[in-house]
């Protein structure tokens, strides 16, 4: 099994800007100060959950199919 590159987003393949993957404290990561979409987290393939972080762009992205399932009175994040 090939090693997992923890610096890349499992959704888009771009750099995820994860502080922990860069060897920095978790408190320095962008995700500590930004909302992360539950729908985006749910799209991470099961084998990569807890091993690779998504990027800031994918964290805010709500796919159209998922957005259709979120009740209008509920926030998407």
Place 1 in a pLDDT band, splitting at 50, 70 and 90. Answer: low
Measured distance CA(37)–CA(28) in Å, rounded: 19
Q: Which of 44, 21, 17 is nearest to 33 (CA)?
A: 17
Place 70 in a pLDDT band, splitting at 50, 70 and 90. Answer: very low
Q: Of 68 and 29, which is predicted with more confidence?
A: 29
User: Where are the chain's structural domains?
Assistant: 7-54
Measured distance CA(17)–CA(29) in Å, rounded: 8
Report the predicted TM-score, pTM, of the whole model to 2 decimal places.
0.73
Mean pLDDT of the chain, nearest integer: 82
Contact in structure between 56 and 17 (CB atoms under 8 Å)? yes
Q: In this predicted model, what pLDDT tens digit does every residue of 16-49 receive, in sequence order?
A: 999 999 999 999 999 999 999 999 999 999 999 9
DSSP state of 63: -
Question: Which residues are paired to 15 by β-bridges?
Answer: 8
- The continuous run of DSSP H or E covering 66 comes out as helix 64-67
């Amino acid at each position: 099994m090939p090693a997992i590159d923890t610096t890349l987003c499992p959704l888009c393949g771009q750099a995820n800007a994860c502080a922990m993957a860069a060897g920095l404290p978790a408190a320095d990561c962008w995700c500590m100060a930004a909302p992360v979409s539950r729908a985006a987290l749910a799209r991470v393939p099961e084998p990569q959950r807890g091993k690779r972080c998504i990027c800031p762009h994918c964290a805010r992205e709500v796919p159209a199919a998922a957005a259709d399932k979120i009740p209008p009175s509920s926030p998407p994040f």
